[in-house]
Structure 1
Amino acid sequence: MLAQEVTKRKGSRGPRKDDRMATPLEAMTATLAPKTTEYKFGGPIGATISYFVLPLIAYFVYFACRRDACDLTKIASSFRLPRDVNEWISVESLGVVVGFMLLQALLYCIPAGKAVSGSILRDGSRLKYRMNGLLSLIVSVGVFGALWYYRQPVTFVYDHFLEMITAVSIVAFVLSVVAHSMSLQRGVMLSEYGNSGNFLYDFFMGRALNPRIASVLDMKMLIFGRFMLIGYILAGLSMLAKQYETDGKVSLPMVLVCAMQFLYVFDGLYFEEDILSINEFSKQGVGFLICYAIMVFRPILYSLPARFLVDNPVELPQMQIATILILEVVGYVIYRWSNTQKNSYRRNPDSESSKRLKVLKTARGTNLVISGLWGFVRHPNYLGDLMMHLAWCLCTGVGHFMPYLTFVFLLLMLIGRANQDDADCRKKYKLDWDTYCNIVRYKIVPYIF
């Protein structure tokens, strides 16, 4: 056969490396363990710096917004590092985090909810995932409610927030080690982002693409769909309970924050199948970046508005309440509608709803949607996400900047993600991407960015 012919050049001792057929071992290695060809996050140097920067930012958010002060202008005068190690970590806080993790792992393994197939992997296989996130949410909130009813210390997260940051950081690091250890086993599929050969970089980005414990417990689903989402809802409820314990009532801004965040989490778990298509889930390996950013960074930021309201109760004018509700509703509609359009088209481009969308056919044989919300901006789901997060922050009033870090960090993250997506697609689609950008001109915010 022509594909099997080997060309010999005059004077050569044998086939060139580029001309010979790959051996079965080489083919398997290329499929399961492709080498990283392009660094992200500044490469090994950027990864090494991030090991220190991410925890520093997490602790900064706590120390900059505490019970005695939550004002950037007063950080220098109120800043104080605890000298007692027991203020940084305790057996109780570590026990709470590990116990919560074990509960979520147990609930995930319960054979309830439908089993769906994930994205097609490089070897043509598709992993099965159990979609029972709503069950986990209901059980977790039910346990919290029962503990509150029987007067157990449900305000523990607020009362020991610094200890909880350290405890979650420890658990996140341990999971990073577990995932990296699993990537060293033979036959494990590796992420194309975390197989450079540089340990510091690979440990940060994550080598193992889909690590599973006992072939049942999927680490990505546990981290993304359980620990992060359900975790920061329970953290918010802890803040709500603390405000009730302190003031004897729960303020309207606190109710709004917790209700809007609950809607966000409920949506994420109701449409849990959508998470399987995001880039972090389908291409990113499990490493320090995912473990720390998802388990520590995001819950700290998402719970910041509620934590602020415990010690800084505010009265909102009716106009601001109306603005909050409009932002939340419009943002949620954009977020949900755009995600539904995207995932519906990906699952079945021949469905009636998908056929109504206009597409740009590319030389690669794939299509780029250029109508609906996706013809409005390139990332309408990002726009909706930002609007909802801004609504949460507005519940804290407009007199302090610190609670708005929730919105600021999400904005920076999504801008970076949109720029990276633009660079990747430009390499992937070449001239077709220029045509697409001329049709859909803005990335996230119309006429601005």
Structure 2
Amino acid sequence: MGATKMVHAPIVTYASMLSLLSLCPPFVILLWHTMVHANGSISQTCDYLMQNGLQGFKDIWPKPTATAWKIIACYGVFEAVLQLFLPGKRFEGSISPEGNRPVYKANGLQAYAVTLVTYLGLWWFGIFNPAIVYDHLGEIFSALIFGSFAFCIFLYIKGHLAPSSTDSGSSGNLIIDFYWGMELYPRIGTNFDIKVFTNCRFGMMSWAVLAVTYCIKQVTF
């Protein structure tokens, strides 16, 4: 993809990228702690951190557990299977700067319906209690933070060694490459689009799943 032109001064660009990479993960944990353990009180969380400092922050950071990893793995595999095998119309994206046209299977609405029906069905028939997800949410967030970092490293290496198309390349700067990405359309094989999976299926689909989870937790509290 060649060298990347910066709109702002380099120090502003690097500071912005590094801030997002380093501050978003602890913000997620602090927000979770505030809502779950501090009754939604920001001042209570701030008072706790002022009194306990860095050690206090370490103490409230939940450790990833086997249960959290199992929940993430089951959900991820389920959404990946739906993405690959649910029927859908062929959809062609815009032509890329390198002349490539990405092709997708438009089955997002079907995946949304199947996901929610399955999730509610597992709860209704007593196979799985979604309240468990809420009870382990901090551990899940923690696991996702570390897992996402490892996944980004994988994508960085893949972009160098095995890009999916000619819409790839290095800017010559490790920070920009890691933050911006090495590929425009990273894929595993020919049909599994990674951006569709992470953004639309694993990510945005979880919004609805978590909303249902919170409702069920209130009902079964």
Q: What TM-score do the two structures reach when normalised by structure 2?
A: 0.85
Secondary structure at the residue paired with 1:215?
coil
Which residue of the other structure, out of 171, 177, 189, is the alignment partner of 2:166?
Answer: 189
Unaligned runs of 5+ in 2: 50-55
Structure 1 residue 200 displacement after superposition: 2.0
- Specify the code of the residue in structure 2 equivalent to 1:66: V
Contact 1:35 1:196 in 2 (8 A): yes
Query: 1:25 is matched with which residue?
Result: none
Structure 1 residue 55 displacement after superposition: 0.8
Q: Does 1:116 align with 2:84?
A: no
1:124-163 equivalences in 2 (<5 Å): 124-151=99-126, 152-163=128-139
Q: Distance in 2 between matches of 1:174 and 1:196?
A: 21
1:98-247 equivalences in 2 (<5 Å): 98-110=73-85, 112-151=87-126, 152-185=128-161, 188-190=165-167, 195-246=170-221
Query: 2:3 is matched with which residue?
Result: 35
Query: 1:70 is matched with which residue?
Result: 40
Aligned residues: percent identity?
Answer: 20
Structure 1 residue 113 displacement after superposition: 0.8
| Greater alpha carbon shift after TM alignment, 158-167 vs 60-69 | 60-69
Structure 1 residue 202 displacement after superposition: 1.2
Q: Deviations over 1:348-393 (max 9, x none)?
A: xxxxxxxxxxxxxxxxxxxxxxxxxxxxxxxxxxxxxxxxxxxxxx
Contact 1:104 1:226 in 2 (8 A): yes
C-alpha RMSD of the superposition: 2.4
Count of residues in Structure 1 that have an aligned counterpart in Structure 2: 211
Unaligned runs of 5+ in 1: 1-32, 247-449
Q: 1:82 to 1:222 in 2, by over 3 A?
A: same
Secondary structure at the residue paired with 1:38?
coil
- Specify the code of the residue in structure 2 equivalent to 1:62: W
Query: 1:91 is matched with which residue?
Result: 66
Larger Cα-atom Rg? 1
Structure 1 residue 77 displacement after superposition: 4.3
Query: 2:52 is matched with which residue?
Result: none
Which residue of the other structure, out of 14, 17, 28, is the alignment partner of 1:44?
Answer: 14
Q: Distance in 2 between matches of 1:163 and 1:43?
A: 32
Q: Deviations over 1:46-99 (max 9, x none)?
A: 3233321111211121122224421123224456557498x4210110111122
Which residue of the other structure, out of 1, 22, 25, is the alignment partner of 1:55?
Answer: 25
Taking CA–CA contacts closer than 8 Å with sequence separation of 6 or more, which of the two structures ends up with the larger relative contact order?
2
